[in-house]
Amino acid sequence: RRHGTDRSAAQRTAERGFHTTFVHRASDDFYEVLGVKKDASAPEIKKAYYQLAKKYHPDANKDPGAKDKFLKIQEAYDTLSDASKRQSYDQYGSADPMEGMGGGPGAGFSGFGGMDDILSQMFGGAFSGRGGHGHGFTSQGEDIEASITLSFMEAVNGVQKTITITPVVHCEPCGGQGAKKGAKKGAKRKTCRTCRGTGQAMFKMGGFHVQQPCPECSGEGSSISSKDKCSACQGRGRVRERKTVPIDIPAGCDSGMRVKISDMGDVPADGHGPAGDLYVKVRVLPSKTFRRKGSDIYYDLQVPLTTAILGGTLRVPTVDGDVEVNIKPGVQPGDELRLRTKGVRKVNSTGRGDQYLNLNVKLPTELTSKQRELVEQLDAELTGKPRSDPAKESTESTESTDGSEQGTKEKDGFFSRIKKDFENFKKHDDK
């Protein structure tokens, strides 16, 4: 009994802390906390966090449970917004709770700080009060995505292309204010008094609190009188604009890669913060000549039978143009040659991949009598077998009731033997 009370306070604290963390991890799914799917992209996670942070931050939400809810939201975002932490969480169901948190969930917030401090770090915006209750902010706009298709050589060498996008921009006639020209001086977009700029309103239904878009401002967080609305944007202050954007595709780009163009996304729905970014996903068409694996190029080289036996020089295409390649005597079908630095340039690097040549020995399908005699001489020389009588073989072929069938069998047998002898040529030569 006495022995059981000798544990140090640090030991008891450590045990309690470990137990609490374990239970918390087991009960909360970070994807569910943010309301996103497990394959959600980084912009989707960021958007979900942005909306929840506005709703549950203690400075804006006085609900007794908002504090704990916000902590969970913050912890979920800290984990899922970091690629390495997210990978660990997906694989093991947890990420290191101490990393970047100063000792655990909620640590380092100094009593949560202000909404200004936390959201400005996440979204790069400058936050300021608008007066009244709650906080307003100028946030960054949403990122947008587009796609582009390139030919094989365009991706290898790099190219400048143009794409058409329709981002959300400030309405030019009203300068993004939503009020038409000539409206009264005070006819500006005003923060909705019902939702206080959040765009969301809480309703009580059957004992539950349900959040829906604010009916007063239609979820926009602000409104303007109908008589003063800009006709171009219907008082929203934002419109979609068709733009043609130049894009530089770097050499070595491959299918699945994304090219980022800063500040070409949507402008914020409210305020005058920076626009989001444009991400262009690349799709590369296959080549009829080459195959590509990363920065390496593969090419099937047809080698004539005589070149394979005697050696020689062949002209080979590469992404930089044709080159002469020396073929050593006695190469075998399936052999592979490597041309260093003849592959694709590595993105954001001066290095290049290699080109690999897969050798396919090409056997003739027909022979003249002279060619046949010469090959038979080679066959006899390599195998030590006596030569066959060409005249006798010719007579037997002619006397066959189905000459085409017998001739085919002889030809097939002959070329099969030649192929087999050729494949064993190196071994025989070594002996």
pLDDT of residue 226: 76
In 60-219, DSSP assigns E strands to 126-128, 136-138, 144-150, 159-165, 168-170, 190-191, 200-205, 208-213
Which range (78-82, 87-91, 311-315, 371-375) has the least confidence?
A: 87-91
Residues in the chain, overall count = 431
Model confidence at 236, pLDDT cuts 50, 70, 90, reads: confident
Q: What whole-number distance in Å separates Cα of residue 367 and Cα of residue 398?
A: 17
pLDDT of residue 24: 37
| pLDDT higher than 60, residue 228 | yes
Residue 50 tokens read as: 């942005």
pLDDT of residue 157: 95
Average pLDDT value over all residues in the chain: 75
Which range (97-101, 181-185, 347-351) has the least confidence?
A: 97-101
pLDDT of residue 207: 58
The model carries a pTM of 0.53
Place of tokens 């699945």: 256
292-314 pLDDT tens trace: 999 999 999 999 999 999 999 99
| pLDDT higher than 90, residue 242 | yes
pLDDT of residue 290: 97
pLDDT of residue 421: 58
pLDDT of residue 333: 94
- The residue among 63, 171, 49 whose CA lies nearest residue 122 is 49
**SS3 sequence, 377-396?**
HHHHHHHCCCCCCHHHHHHH
- The residue among 251, 241, 243, 69 whose CA lies nearest residue 172 is 241
| pLDDT higher than 50, residue 105 | no
The segment with the largest mean pLDDT, out of 181-185, 218-222, 373-377, is 373-377
Residue that wins the pLDDT comparison between 2 and 64: 64
188-210 pLDDT tens trace: 667 777 787 777 777 765 556 67
116-159 pLDDT tens trace: 444 444 444 433 333 333 334 446 889 999 999 999 999 999 99
Residues in CB range of 36: below 8 A, 6 or more apart: 44, 45, 48, 80
Residues in CB range of 239: below 8 A, 6 or more apart: 168, 169, 171, 232, 233
26-35 pLDDT tens trace: 347 889 899 9
Overall average pLDDT of the 84-100 stretch: 64
- The residue among 46, 33, 74, 75 whose CA lies nearest residue 279 is 46
The segment with the largest mean pLDDT, out of 61-70, 128-137, 401-410, 417-426, is 61-70
Q: 258-264 — which CB contacts under 8 Å span 24+ positions?
A: 258/282, 264/144, 264/165, 264/167
pLDDT of residue 327: 96
